[in-house]
Amino acid sequence: MIPSPAAVNAFFAEQFPSAHAGGYRCVETGEGFAVARWPYDPTQLRPGDLISGPTQFALADLALWFLSFTVVGLAPMAVTSDIHINFLRPAKGGDLWARAQLLRAGKVRITGQVKLWVDGAPDKPVAHVVGAYVRIA
């Protein structure tokens, strides 16, 4: 029922090749959660060698998308409704991880939260996200 990371990534590559080419991947799926990773790329940094806000947003958005697959399967027809992101600490020096956790799967709206951290420091989140995907007919 819950698609494997390999199945998610194959679907992702087909549906959204430009993001897939950026290295983003689903690395784990399970009941009520999904984990995604962005491989560190020194050419994509902001001033101060920081992993940029858009990169963090993109990874969180993907993690929520992957989370939606654990609820409704590999359905193309879901779009982001709204996302709220708090940047908590500078993100530096390693792969970026995002773990999305289900808050509520409604008939229309799938709401989750996402914790983001840099490789090796899961207890020092760099960003926190709450967001929702909406199923479209």
Binding site for a copy of itself (CB under 8 A): 15-16, 18-19, 43-47, 50, 52-54, 57-58, 61, 76, 79-90, 103-104, 108-109, 111, 113, 125, 128, 130, 132, 134
Q: For a copy of itself, give the closer residue by CB, 41 or 119.
A: 41
111-136 burial, b at 16+ Cβ within 10 Å, e below that, comes to bbbbbbbbeeeeeebbbebbbbbebe
Q: How far is the CB of 89 from a copy of itself (least distance, A)?
A: 7
CB atoms within 10 A of CB 52: 13
- The residue assigned the tokens 């992993």 is 51
Q: For a copy of itself, give the closer residue by CB, 17 or 120.
A: 17
Q: For a copy of itself, give the closer residue by CB, 2 or 16.
A: 16
Where does residue 20 rank: exposed (0-12), middle (13-18), buried (19+ CB within 10 A)? middle
Q: For a copy of itself, give the closer residue by CB, 50 or 121.
A: 50
